[in-house]
Amino acid sequence: MLEIRWHSRAGQGAVTGAKGLADVISTTGKHVQAFAFYGSAKRGAAMTAYNRVDDKVVMNHEKYMEPDFVFVIDPALVYTSDVTINAKEKTIYIITTHMSTQELVASQPKLEGKEVYTVDCIKIAQETIGKAIPNTPMLGAFMKISGMYDIEFFKDSMKRILRKLPQKIIDANMLAIQRAFDEVK
Amino acid sequence: MAFDKMELQKIEVWDGNFAAAQALRQCQIDVVAAYPITPSTPIVEGYAKFLSDNYIEGEFVMVESEHAAMSGCVGAAAAGGRVATATSSQGFALMVEVLYQASGMRLPIVLNVVNRALAAPLNVNGDHSDMYLGRDSGWIQLDAFAPQEAYDLNFIAFKVAEDHDIRLPAMVHQDGFMTSHTAQGVYTLTDDEAYGFVGEYKPMNDMLDFEHPVTHGVQTEEDWHFEHKARQHNDLMTKVFPKIQAAFDAFEKLSGRKYNIVEKYDMNDADVCVVCMGTSVETAREVATEMREKGIKAGVVGLRVIRPFPFFEIAEALKDVKAIAALDRSSPNGAPGMLFNEIAGALFNTDKRALLSGYVYGLGGRDLTKAHLVSLYTELQANVDAGKVTTQLQQFIGVRGPKLAFL
């Protein structure tokens, strides 16, 4: 069982990202689950989304999770919510920030001693897609850190998932995924 | 007017709402009258989108309330159409008056109920309060534990409800958010397979059949009211289960997916078991397997059919077990829980009566964790070891504050 928790703000695309990732993984024969806590369901409110991946059908419907990966797609959430809650010793963090990993960990002592990677998904999204929708770049970074799939396979899969969007937006997302893959440290 | 077919992948990653919306599309519903409410909104939204994209030949009726939504469904069903809608919680509560009309008028409407708590306090999350509110309304109630089942049970619901020997409306329940907004792999049917399974709608006593005029929505006082109600109850008690079983069998042939009126998991040699509904059934199955590794022979019984209540099937499922926990996700507000009472009733006249205790859990979407279920099975095993229920008969799981226990 692979478990992922997303920290996001409502409207930044964590649910879409979690569902998109589940969709890609499902095509490889694995069983998936993607869900979210909507909380007050207001745009901009902090929220969490979740992925479970397993070789057998995912039957666990508890909301409680000790994640293997934590994705933070809004930089301020590192300070305003506890992104380390219910973590395991080996939980890996991929965090959106303009800072270096070292600067980030220095600014949030809870991350000290953890396996933390950083990438500026907000900036990448703004420069490629033209909007601060940091979900697809986060998945590019995840592909790099996890080594889950070849990046070309992943991009092809995402093209299928995004196929209803205008070609320009699809191309921009592909660029964003590739950039985050290349830039995550 | 011709409509388009949709190419689906063999496995689609869908949440429970979209799975239900796709089932409504594939059943080619003639009329959906709906008023949106969280968390069920995407079902009727999905139908409307499919309709506007020419995937359905039908009509979407926008109304001013859920009372009007179900009234619209009653009118359309009486006129002779295949009719469905969806609702949750307060919307369901507002529909209740018309639910009794629909079942009393023997109109085979399918209502997707995305289970949600009832206010006050206001809460949009999943529990079974609305589902419990509907249990005396004369509808068939089917319960999905995951998105796949929310999809499949819609086909079953139409098949059974529209049968001319049945002609009763049916609800398909799924847990708000935990199923409705949780995406999982769903094995699809092709449009032709799905429509072939439910078949073309065959109207009965339809108002638009001018050759055979009928009256709907009549008044009967003490002279006939009781006979109508008794016959409705009779059909629920005697006719529905065989038709559900036949539909399950036919569906298994078509899809390979097997459904049972009572879903048993590891019950053959179980000492302790949990009886519950919705997503909790699946979580409990996972925990039961883990308990067996710890030496506790745990099983799970899930209710696939809530109404009519599978009285004998439940007694049969529980006949060899030593301790049972009945899990109710609705506040009984001054009584034992519904499942506790129904199970007690089913077992009372049998030879083997297991130790039965009731638990209220998960109100307003409160998480039922695997850790809760581990404690629960451990407590049931302690009851078995002591030969008696060692706790009070009604406890609460996962509520903060001083421990609450009654009876």
Q: What is the pLDDT of residues B313-362, one digit of tens each?
A: 999 999 999 999 999 999 999 999 999 999 999 999 999 889 999 999 99
Q: What is the pLDDT of residues B163-175, one digit of tens each?
A: 999 999 999 999 9
Residue B183 φ then ψ, to 5°? -85, 130
Return the residue of B nearest to A30 by Cα.
B185
- The pTM score is 0.96
Interface contact A64-B13, CB threshold 8 A:
no
Model pLDDT, residue B167: 97
Chain B partners within 8 Å of A38 (Cβ): 124, 177, 181
Cα separation of B288 and B295, whole Å? 11
% of chain B surpassing 90 pLDDT: 99
Interface contact A62-B283, CB threshold 8 A:
yes
Distance from CA of B264 to the nearest CA of A (A): 15
Residue B171 φ then ψ, to 5°? -105, 140
Q: What residue spans define the domains of chain A?
A: 2-183
Model pLDDT, residue B245: 98
| Residue ranges of chain B that CATH labels 3.40.50.920 | 263-406
Model pLDDT, residue A39: 66
Q: B263-406 architecture in CATH?
A: 3-Layer(aba) Sandwich (3.40)
pLDDT over 80 (residue B55): yes
- Half-sphere exposure for A15 (CA within 13 Å, toward CB): 17
Distances in Å between the alpha carbon of B52 and those of A161, B4, B59, B206? 22, 11, 10, 27
Interface contact B177-A35, CB threshold 8 A:
yes
- At CA B22, angle to CA B16 and CA B23, rounded to 5? 90
Q: Quote the CATH superfamily of domain A2-183.
A: Pyruvate-ferredoxin oxidoreductase, PFOR, domain III (3.40.920.10)
| Residue ranges of chain B that CATH labels 3.40.50.970 | 11-200+220-255
- In sign, the C-alpha dihedral spanning B52, B58, B60, B61 is positive
Cα separation of A141 and B318, whole Å? 51
Model pLDDT, residue A40: 64
Residue B83, Cβ density class (10 Å: 0-12 exposed, 13-18 middle, ≥19 buried): buried
Chain B interface residues (partner A, CB cutoff 8 A): 11, 13, 15, 124, 146, 175, 177-179, 181-185, 279-280, 282-283, 285-286, 367-371
Distance from CA of B113 to the nearest CA of A (A): 19
Cα separation of B349 and B314, whole Å? 13
Residues in chain A predicted with pLDDT less than 50, given as ranges, are: none
Using 50, 70 and 90 to split pLDDT, how confident is the model at B376?
Answer: very high
The 8-class DSSP code of residue B188 comes to: P
Q: What mean pLDDT do residues B266-283 have?
A: 98
A119 touches A139 (CB < 8 A): no
Q: SS3 breakdown of chain B: % helix, strand, coil, rounded to 5?
A: 40, 20, 40
CA B130 to chain centre: 11
CATH code at B11-200+220-255: 3.40.50.970
Interface contact A61-B124, CB threshold 8 A:
no
Q: What is the pLDDT of residues B289-318, one digit of tens each?
A: 999 999 999 999 999 999 999 999 999 999
pLDDT over 70 (residue B1): no
Model pLDDT, residue B93: 98
The 8-class DSSP code of residue B214 comes to: -
Helices B147-161, B191-198: axis angle to 10 degrees equals 40
Interface contact A19-B183, CB threshold 8 A:
yes
Distance from CA of A117 to the nearest CA of B (A): 27
Chain A partners within 8 Å of B368 (Cβ): 61-62
